[in-house]
Every structure is written in C-alpha cells, then in structure tokens.
Amino acid sequence: MTPPSSGGSILPAGPLALREVIGDFEVLGRLGQGGMGAVYRARQVSLDRMVALKVLPAQFIEDAPPGARPRPRPLRS
C-alpha cells in the first residue's frame, strides 16, 4: 500500500476498527497521534510480537535521507 499524495497517513484518521496489514505488520488499533504522525498498536507477524508502529505523512517520507527505514519497537507491558 502506498501513501496518498495528499501528505496524509496511509491509515484512516477516525476511530475505525482497523485490521490493516502493512508489510509484516497487522495493525490492531491507534495508540495516539501527534505532530509528526500517528502511532498504532500492531503485531509483527514474522516474530509474533506486539509493536508500536509509527506512520508518518508522505511529506516526511519524501524528505527522509536515502536508506532510512522505520524500526518497529516492541510494546512493553
């Protein structure tokens, strides 16, 4: 799935029941949103672990240095 060209998130902004799959991540719900993007609770399928997945607007992705990749962070209980 590619980010929309409008500069918004690739996921819905409203409180919808999400079951989106982005690469190796199954998005389970939104944790919060800030000035740079939204953070979602997700399951990394290959490692069967819960992670926080930050989704940035397209404008931040376009400005990223070459080779920059997001890194999932495990959720702590």
DSSP state of 10: S
Sequence ranges of the domains in the chain: 16-61
Q: Is the pLDDT of residue 3 over 50?
A: no
Across the range 7-21, mean pLDDT stands at: 55
Kindly report the number of other CB atoms within 10 A of residue 50's CB atom. Answer: 15
Q: Which residue has the tokens 């290959």?
A: 46
Question: What confidence score (pLDDT) does residue 54 get?
Answer: 86
Q: How confident is the model at residue 76 (pLDDT cuts 50, 70, 90)?
A: low
Give the pLDDT confidence of 31-72 residue by residue, as tens digits.
999 888 889 999 999 999 999 988 888 777 676 676 666 666
Q: How far, in Å, CA of 14 to CA of 50, rounded?
A: 22
- Beta strands across the sheet bearing 21-22: 21-22, 25-33, 38-44, 49-55, 73-74
